[in-house]
């Protein structure tokens, strides 16, 4: 072989990218997904994940004396639909989900070492809210809206046992 041929072959080999000879370090992929929805309002970040603390509650012979309020704040509301010309959103409906109390299904169940109690949910008019049912009486205005709710600790007809308790309540807001 000629020196010229070997020189050309050497130059070609040296000009090939180094990655051509690198061993694979593994493979992977990234999947992207999502959903674009039209909603007239955003749920305020402080309303999205809330913690309500009852603190220390005394059990008295006339019942548990503890009431707490919480709000769901809907912000930056623009009620005119962007996708449906001429349509204006007027109300919000909210459905609450949670584990019902095993002895009184009208109450939100609690977990922990405390027993004999559950949490009653009330709307802004102090009317009972049933878990899993839609409540549509929340009028909306452009801008910010605050929907008020209340809770009460209630006996569930089982013997009361002192201890700590927790409960998880989730909600879904829909607009119409």
pLDDT at 143: 98
Considering the entire predicted model, what is its pTM?
A: 0.78
Q: Does residue 138 fall inside a structural domain?
A: yes
Q: Does residue 4 fall inside a structural domain?
A: no
User: In this structure, what CATH number is given to the domain that contains residue 59?
Assistant: 2.60.40.1090
Q: Does residue 170 fall inside a structural domain?
A: yes
Predicted confidence (pLDDT) per residue in 45-65, tens digit = 999 999 999 999 887 756 677
Q: Does residue 15 fall inside a structural domain?
A: no
Which residue range forms the structural domain that includes residue 110? 42-175
Q: Does residue 68 fall inside a structural domain?
A: yes
Average pLDDT over residues 78-93: 96
Predicted confidence (pLDDT) per residue in 149-160, tens digit = 999 999 999 999
Q: Does residue 147 fall inside a structural domain?
A: yes
Beta-strand (E) ranges in 34-160?
42-43, 59-60, 63-64, 67-77, 91-98, 111-112, 117-122, 134-139, 143-155
Average pLDDT over residues 115-138: 94
- % of the chain surpassing 90 pLDDT: 74
Q: How many domains are there within the chain?
A: 1
């Amino acid at each position: 072989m000629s020196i010229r041929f070997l020189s050309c072959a050497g130059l070609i080999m040296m000009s090939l990218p180094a990655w051509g000879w690198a061993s694979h370090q593994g493979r992977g992929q990234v999947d992207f997904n999502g959903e674009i929805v039209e909603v007239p309002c955003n749920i305020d970040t402080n309303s999205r994940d809330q913690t309500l603390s009852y603190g220390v509650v005394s059990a008295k012979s006339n019942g548990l004396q503890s009431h707490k309020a919480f709000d769901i704040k809907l912000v930056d509301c623009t009620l005119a639909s962007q996708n449906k010309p001429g349509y204006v959103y007027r109300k919000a409906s909210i459905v609450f989900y949670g584990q019902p109390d095993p002895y009184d299904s009208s109450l939100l169940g609690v977990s922990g070492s405390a027993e004999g109690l559950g949490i009653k949910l009330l709307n802004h008019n102090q009317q009972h809210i049933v878990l899993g049912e839609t409540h549509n009486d929340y009028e909306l205005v452009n801008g910010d809206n605050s929907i008020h709710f209340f809770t009460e600790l209630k006996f569930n007809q089982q013997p009361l046992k002192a201890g700590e308790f927790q409960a998880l309540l989730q909600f879904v807001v829909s607009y119409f």
